[in-house]
Every structure is written in C-alpha cells, then in structure tokens.
Amino acid sequence: MINVDSALKIILNDIRTLRGESAHLTESLGRVLAEDIYASSDIPGFDNSAMDGYALRALDTQNASKRIPKILNVIEDRRAGYISRREIKNGQAIRIMTGAVMPKGSDSVVMVEDTQRHGKDNVKIFNPVKRGDSVRRKGEDIKKGEMVLVKGTRLNSAHVGLLASLGKARVLVSRKPKIAILATGDEVVDVGGKLKPGELRSSNTYTLYSQILKCGGIPKNLGIAKDKPQMLEAKLRSGLDCDMILTSGGVSVGDYDLVKFILAKMGTNIRFWKVAMRPGKPLVFGLVKGIPIFGLPGNPVSSMITFDVFVKPAMLKMEGADDFSAKNVDAVLEEGITKRRGLRYFVRAITRWDDGVYFTRTTGPQGSGILKSMALANSLIVLPEEEENVDKGVRVTVRFLE
Ligand code: AMP
Ligand code: MG
C-alpha cells in the first residue's frame, strides 16, 4: 500500500498535456491557455483624458487660487472618440470628456468639478494643476510587445477582457479532456430505473459526471456494468476513445470485485492498487492501451474524495494548467477526532471564517457511504499519516471543496 503523495506522483508522471485548439473568446472562459500572449499594441493606444474636464497647459494654472482663479479661453468641446484638430496655445483650454484623445499642446486635465464656466467661452480654474494630472498615457497599462498572459493560465473574466482589448478574438487553449465514467455492480441501477429489493441508484455516475464538468472536462457516461466479466470488458472498451476512464466500484476484495481482474486481462499496466488513506483505500490506477484509468472505490464518499485528491489534479495537468495543487488553509479544530496511525484521513467538515481565524468541525458520522455528510460539507480536514487521535483546539489543515 502506498501513501497519498507517492500515488499522486505516479499518476502525474503518467499524464500528458493535451494539444491546443483555437477557441473564440466567448468559449474560452475557464479554459487553459496553450500559448503565451504578447501585446500587439499599446494599451491605452493613445494619451487620453481620465476625467470629464478641460485639457490645458499646467503652466497656465500656476498660482491659481479660490480667490484669484486663472481664466482660460475655451476654444472647443471634444467628445470621446473624436480627435481635435486645434492646438492649445497659451491661456487656452479645450472641454474634454473621459477617454478623449489629448489635444495637441495640452499636457494635463482639470476635472470639471474643480472649474466654473465663465461666460460662453471662458473657464475659471481655482487650483494649480500638475503636469500630467488626469491623463492616461499611451502604453501605461501595457506596452506593445510585452508578455501579458502566460501559457498555463486558466482564463477568468478579466483575462478574457484583456484579450478582447488586444484584439485577440480567438486564442489557443488546450482541448477539453473527454472522460469516460463506468459504474459497476449487480445492485446498481440508473437514476430512472425501478429499484428491486437490495438495489440502489448510481449516485456515483452523476457525482463523477458533475465533478468532470467542474474540472473542465467532457464526461462520457458508459452506463452501468453488472459484475459479469464479459459485460464489464465490453463496456470498458467503449471508453477507449476517451482521454481518461473512471470506473466506480468493484475494486475492493469482495468476491465480485472484478475491475482489477478485467483490467489485467485487457493488458493494463497497473501502477498501484490501494492507497493509505481514509476514505478511498481500494483505489486502482493504471494505463489501459496507454489511457489512464482510475478504478475508484464504489462508496459514494470514497468516489468523490478520490476524484478530488487524484483525478482532479490529473485532469488539470492534462489541460495544461500551471497549478494543480489543492488550496489549503489552517483551521482550529472544534471537536476531537479519533484516528488510526498510518492512513491519511480526509474528514468531511464545515469550515467557517470568524474574526480572522478559520474554525472547522466535522459533518458528523464519517461512514464512506454517507453521501449526505459530503453534501453538508464545504471542506475536508486533512489529517496526516503519522497523526493519531487529534484533540479539540489544535490547528489542522483544511482544503475547501469546489
Ligand atoms: P463495491 O466496491 O463495488 O463493493 O461498492 C462499495 C459500496 O458502494 C457498495 O455498498 C455499493 O453498493 C456502493 N456503490 C457501488 N457503486 C455505486 C454507485 N455507482 N453509486 C452509488 N453507490 C455505489
Ligand atoms: Mg460492487
């Protein structure tokens, strides 16, 4: 049995990043850039006014005061998008709007609130203006040729906006991984089916489906395989056109736990079986015909948590993301937890921020079949292998879900 860190290392070592494809900006949110982006132009593209006000020469406002304002001659009114043909000379100003090109001869803008119109053609300035005041300089945000976004960035709304302002309607992003899901078990029935005694519905199909979507993948539901070798193999083969395959159930030591057996029959290079963790111990990982395959445990909580700990980082690496580590915080434990040495525990928890400190408590009974306790949780308390019973009040590591 290997530990969580070694298992993750083995997995990531086997995962290759998918090649890029071109996507329109409207399809790019949440996807990972597969190219570095350099600015094709300056932003802003020209010197412009940061305020509604008057463009002028700072020198002309020296010694202006409330009592003795400077009076400038307004030679034109300009709106954003129009370029003035006039040049400002000594003692002159041009009425200007936010975003309008700075007129020739001007070096500053005074905002309209600090002025008073004086007759039709003049304006009173009450304070000296510093050269460059309220002017946004050409290239002050981004210089032409500068690298603005680095390959591996997961695009958010601000990134998308930046790309738009640089005129990039399409960008190279990595292909979305296609991921097969196969539920197994004689007792497992699809969500629409009628339950006979002893049967239950396949919640794993749908938790995995949504977890894959959440991580930017395209799920392919292969349905449910009974615990019969032929059916299991046939269904598994229908996932061989995917970038990754997930099975649920059939990997522990029960008499009908056939997944490992079938994988071996299909020539799978099994990298490991069983990880020192709770829940999720019976996890299997290998490569079938070169495709990474995870045999996830059947218990609903184990399935979700092994996805979060192993499948998610594997997917992120496939997508070319530059960061696939979990985000952890420190929290004060509000109740004691009993623990066995040697396993890493992932305890379903509710973690809250209170006056500068995170506090965390469990969602109650931690049986790995209790999906409700997962639904109540917003986080997992991660207790390291070497730890034994953990007391109330100590600091523990917490990772947030979703
Ligand atoms: P197994 O590892 O196949 O013995 O499954 C462990 C437990 O998980 C059993 O109680 C199964 O009934 C349950 N289980 C297996 N597959 C699913 C599934 N797709 N959805 C919900 N529960 C499942
Ligand atoms: Mg089973």
Mutate to test the pocket of ligand 1, among 200, 201, 284, 370 (most ligand atoms within 8 A of CB): 200
Domain co-membership, 308 together with 185: yes
CATH number of the domain that 246 lies in?
A: 3.40.980.10
Determine the pLDDT at residue 77: 84
CATH number of the domain that 158 lies in?
A: 3.90.105.10
How far, in Å, are 261, 295, 308, 399, 401 from residue 326 at the CA level?
Answer: 32, 21, 9, 7, 9
What is the residue-level pLDDT of the chain in tens, covering all 402 positions? 999 999 999 999 999 999 999 999 999 999 999 999 999 999 999 999 999 999 999 999 999 999 999 999 999 987 666 788 899 999 999 999 999 999 999 999 999 999 999 999 999 999 999 999 999 999 999 999 999 999 999 999 999 999 999 999 999 999 999 999 999 999 999 999 999 999 999 999 999 999 999 999 999 999 999 999 999 999 999 999 999 999 999 998 888 789 999 999 999 999 999 999 999 999 999 999 999 999 999 999 999 999 999 999 999 999 999 888 888 999 999 999 999 999 999 999 999 999 999 999 999 988 989 999 999 999 999 999 999 999 999 999 999 997
User: Where does a domain end: 174, 192, 220?
Assistant: 174
Instruction: Compute, in angstroms, the gap from residue 297 CA to the centroid of ligand 2.
Output: 9
The answer to whether 399 and 378 are in contact (CB under 8 A) is no
Instruction: Compute, in angstroms, the gap from residue 183 CA to the centroid of ligand 2.
Output: 9
Residue 278 forms part of a structural domain: yes
User: Where does a domain end: 318, 343, 369?
Assistant: 318
Residue 260 forms part of a structural domain: yes
Ligand nearest to the CA of 369: 1
Domain co-membership, 59 together with 183: no
Instruction: Compute, in angstroms, the gap from residue 249 CA to the centroid of ligand 2.
Output: 5
In the structure encoding, which two tokens stand for residue 210, read together?
């949504």
Mutate to test the pocket of ligand 1, among 181, 199, 204 (most ligand atoms within 8 A of CB): 204
Domain co-membership, 97 together with 216: no
Residue type, 68: I
CATH number of the domain that 361 lies in?
A: 2.40.340.10
d(CA 136, CA 50): 6
Domain co-membership, 95 together with 108: yes
Domain co-membership, 294 together with 237: yes
d(CA 316, CA 244): 12
In the structure encoding, which two tokens stand for residue 187, read together?
């007792």
Determine if the peptide bond prior to 44 is cis (ω within 30°): yes
| Main-chain dihedrals φ then ψ at residue 90, nearest 5 degrees | -35, 125
Instruction: Compute, in angstroms, the gap from residue 268 CA to the centroid of ligand 1.
Output: 23
d(CA 326, CA 85): 57
How many domains does the chain fold into? 4
Structural domain of 72 = 48-136
Residue 180 forms part of a structural domain: yes
Q: Quote the Cα angle for 352-353-355, to 5°.
A: 140
User: Where does a domain end: 128, 152, 174?
Assistant: 174
Ligand nearest to the CA of 296: 1
Residue 397 Cβ < 6 Å to ligand 1: no
Determine the pLDDT at residue 269: 96
Domain co-membership, 31 together with 162: yes
Domain co-membership, 206 together with 313: yes
Domain co-membership, 193 together with 314: yes
Determine the pLDDT at residue 254: 83
In the structure encoding, which two tokens stand for residue 34, read together?
């597969």
* Number of C-beta neighbours around residue 325 at 10 A: 9
Residue 295 Cβ < 6 Å to ligand 1: no
CATH number of the domain that 54 lies in?
A: 2.170.190.11
Instruction: Compute, in angstroms, the gap from residue 298 CA to the centroid of ligand 1.
Output: 4
Residue 100 forms part of a structural domain: yes
Q: DSSP secondary structure string, 253-311?
A: SSTT--HHHHHHHTT-EEEEE-BSEES-TT-EEEEETTEEEEEE-SSHHHHHHHIIIII
Residue 357 forms part of a structural domain: yes
Q: Quote the Cα angle for 159-325-295, to 5°.
A: 115
Residue 362 Cβ < 6 Å to ligand 1: no
Domain co-membership, 307 together with 385: no
Domain co-membership, 306 together with 191: yes
Residue 80 forms part of a structural domain: yes
Residue 249 Cβ < 6 Å to ligand 1: yes
Residue 305 forms part of a structural domain: yes
Pairing outcome for strands 53-56 and 108-111: antiparallel
Instruction: Compute, in angstroms, the gap from residue 296 CA to the centroid of ligand 2.
Output: 11
Domain co-membership, 358 together with 378: yes
d(CA 397, CA 196): 43
Residue keyed to tokens 């640089």: 166
Instruction: Compute, in angstroms, the gap from residue 158 CA to the centroid of ligand 1.
Output: 42
Ligand nearest to the CA of 295: 1
Residue 43 forms part of a structural domain: no
Domain co-membership, 8 together with 68: no
Ligand nearest to the CA of 249: 1
Calculate the CA dihedral of residues 243, 207, 281, 341 and round it to 10 degrees: 130
Residue nearest to atom 17 of ligand 1 (CA): 298
Give the chain's radius of gyration (CA, Å): 31
Residue 247 Cβ < 6 Å to ligand 1: no
Q: Kindly report the length of the chain.
A: 402
